[in-house]
Structures are given as C-alpha cells and as structure tokens.
Structure 1
Amino acid sequence: FHATEKTAAEAVARLTRRLGAEPTAGPPASSAAAAARPAPGCAEHLAAGIRQVESYFAGETTAFTLPLDWSLITGFNRRVLRELAAHVPYGTVVGYQDLADRVGEPGAARAVGVAMGSNPLPVVVPCHRVVESGGGIGGFGGGLETKRALLALEGVLPQPLF
C-alpha cells in the first residue's frame, strides 16, 4: 500500500535474500517465448487471486478462497496471522489483546501489532480488522485512511461522506 519505489525495492530485496533467488517470470528457458510464460500453475493461481481481490473491492466477495503459502512467516507471527485469516470474518473486528489471547499468548497485544506489520498478504489476511480494545482504530501499514476505507467497505465503519 502506498509504497514508494524505495520501499518496494527493499521488500523485493528482503524476499530475494529470504528465498535465495531473484524474482522471475518463470523458470529458466531456452527461448524468449518460453521465458515470458509464468511457471506451471502460477498463472491460474494469479488469475484466481486477481479475480477474488477485484471482487472484494467491488463489494461482491466476503471471503477469500485462495490457497495461501505461509512459508514466509513463522512462529508467533504465523500463528496470529493464521488465526486472523481463519477466524475473523468479513465485517467483524478483533482487538489486539483478544487475538493474542486466542493464540495462547496473554499480554502479547503489542506483539500482535508487530505480527500485523509482518503480514505478507494484507487484505487477503485481513490485518485491517484488528483494532484497539478501547475502540480506537489502531495502526495499519497501508495508512489509516486505507484501513478506514477497508473497514467501511466491510460495513464496520460508515462510508466517508467525501
């Protein structure tokens, strides 16, 4: 969300270090036409993801049915994000502390905030649905206006007047 060119480049560099390979359009190939094709199965997954995200933003989809690859996230962050994805449905919110309690880590509300910041799949793994226990909106890596817009799309907050 709203990433500058520098931020996007840093994210790609982190993933490259983590995965041990540069991003490509597919496996190495002997011809330019073959090199332009995505890896087998990749195009179908990407097309399904695009359709579901577009449908979500059109207000038509309320649950993503995409197979998720959790390999880029581990430990506490993984447990928190999996709980969020599986058990905080469209149109609802959960508090940071409640989410910490759900994964068996009472008192780890701040760590839940860190987990939200490590989310590699925002919107699909709905970190915008995590709010402060006292009623505040909390933070969001995509910016608070984006978080408000996502919560308004889901009917949690009123739509902006302007």
Structure 2
Amino acid sequence: MIKKYKLHYESPIGIIEIVGSNEAISSIMFIEENEKISSLLVDTPPVLVECYNQLEEYFKGHRFDFTFPYEFEGTEFQKTVWEALTKIPYGEIVAYQHIARFIGKEKAVRAVGSANGKNKLSIVIPCHRIIGSNGKLTGYAGGLWRKEWLLNHERQFKKVKV
C-alpha cells in the first residue's frame, strides 16, 4: 500500500488539505477547520511541498498553471471530464454543456456535472470555472462563496498575466 501524507495550507478563503504520496498529489480540498493541523516539516515529501508552494503562488496572483505531479482517482468518464477541465484557461468560465461537447458527449451534461462535483483536486483541476447554462454559479464542494472568490481572484490577476 502506498503511504499517504497530509499537509494543510492556510489560504485566504480557508484551510486546504493537501493529500499525496511521495510521487503525486491525490487530493486538494477545503476543510472546515479553524486552524491548520499539518504544517510543513523537514520530512514532508517534496511533491507536497511543491504543491503547497504553487498554491501560495496562485493565491498571490503569480501562478496561472500547476506543474506538480497529481493523479486522478475516478472512473474513465470522470478522468475524461477532469482532463477537459484543465483546458479551461485561467480566468475564464464555461458551462457544463461546453465540457460535454468538448468530450464528445453532448447529451451527458448531468454526468459532466456529477463528475465535476467529484473532483478532489480543487483549484488545480479548475471545477470552479464551470457555471450553469443560465450564467449563474452552481454547486461547488468548497461552497459557492469560495467559487465566487476564486473566479474574482482569477479575473483580477488575468489582466496582469504575461
């Protein structure tokens, strides 16, 4: 069995729990804790440290893509949806219908929504960039207020992106 490690990152919108092995990150999720429990330590695996540092750069407006290794844990369909989400440019939004068309499953809008909701790599697999066909914000595991914050954050820094 592969050993998993946890690290907490204190973002401007709450604590994010990073979970991964020595090889890759498997989960980046907001948790409802008031203080971080797992901090950077000398023996924290480098991939978790890199994820932590890249999240820090993202929240400061200096990072627009993520380059650390991560792994999807889901069905083939979910993985296809999540891979499609990575193609949404920083600071942009698209509807679920767009993703369904992009993966060649135009009628699978609800299934796309379901896969989007099961994404365990928040921010990095940008499910926050998906909106309803009516242009409204819809479900986000971290809460709609966080989704709105992330979209506003990206809009702000998209202007300065080089």
Deviations 1:13-32 (A, max 9, x none): xxxxxxx778568xxxxxxx
Does structure 1 conserve the Cα–Cα contact (< 8 Å) formed by 2:117 and 2:139? no
Q: Which residue of 1 aligns with 2:94?
A: 94
In structure 1, the partner of 2:79 is 78
- RMSD of the alignment, in Å? 2.3
Contact 2:3 2:21 in 1 (8 A): no
> Where does structure 1 lack aligned partners over 5 or more consecutive residues?
1-19, 26-37, 157-162
Alignment of 1:5-154 (within 5 A): 23=4, 43-70=45-72, 72-85=73-86, 87-154=87-154
Pair 65,127 (structure 1): closer, same or farther in 2 beyond 3 Å: same
The answer as to whether partners of 2:96 and 2:109 remain within 8 angstroms in 1 is: yes
Asked if the contact 2:90–2:154 (Cα under 8 Å) also holds between the matched residues in 1, the reply is yes
Q: Which has the higher helix share?
A: 1
% identical equivalent positions: 37
CA distance in 2, matches of 1:24, 1:66: 15
Rounded Cα–Cα distance in structure 2 between residues aligned with 1:52 and 1:43:
15
User: Residue type of the partner of 1:60?
Assistant: H
> Does the CA-based 8 Å contact 1:63-1:89 persist in structure 2?
no
Q: Which runs of 5+ in 2 are unaligned?
A: 7-19, 24-43, 157-162
TM-score normalised according to structure 1 size: 0.68
What is the one-letter code of the residue matched to 2:63?
Answer: T
**Counterpart amino acid of residue 120 in structure 1:** K
The alpha carbon displacement at 1:76 in A equals 1.2
Contact kept? 2:82, 2:116, Cα under 8 Å: yes
* Matches of 1:39 and 1:95, distance apart in 2: 33
**Corresponding residue SS for 2:45:** helix
Q: What amino acid sits opposite 1:49 in the alignment?
A: C
Aligned residues: 123
For residue 117 of structure 1, report the CA deviation from its aligned partner: 1.1
CA deviation profile, 1:1-48 (whole Å, cap 9, x unmatched): xxxxxxxxxxxxxxxxxxx778568xxxxxxxxxxxx97567111111
Runs of 4+, deviation exceeding 3 Å: 20-25, 38-42
| TM-score, structure 2 as length reference | 0.68
Deviation at 1:138, TM superposition (A): 1.5
Give the secondary structure class of the aligned counterpart of 1:154.
helix
Q: Distance in 2 between matches of 1:117 and 1:47?
A: 26
Structure 1 or 2, whichever has the larger Rg, is: 1
**Relative to total residues, which structure has the larger strand share, 1 or 2?**
2
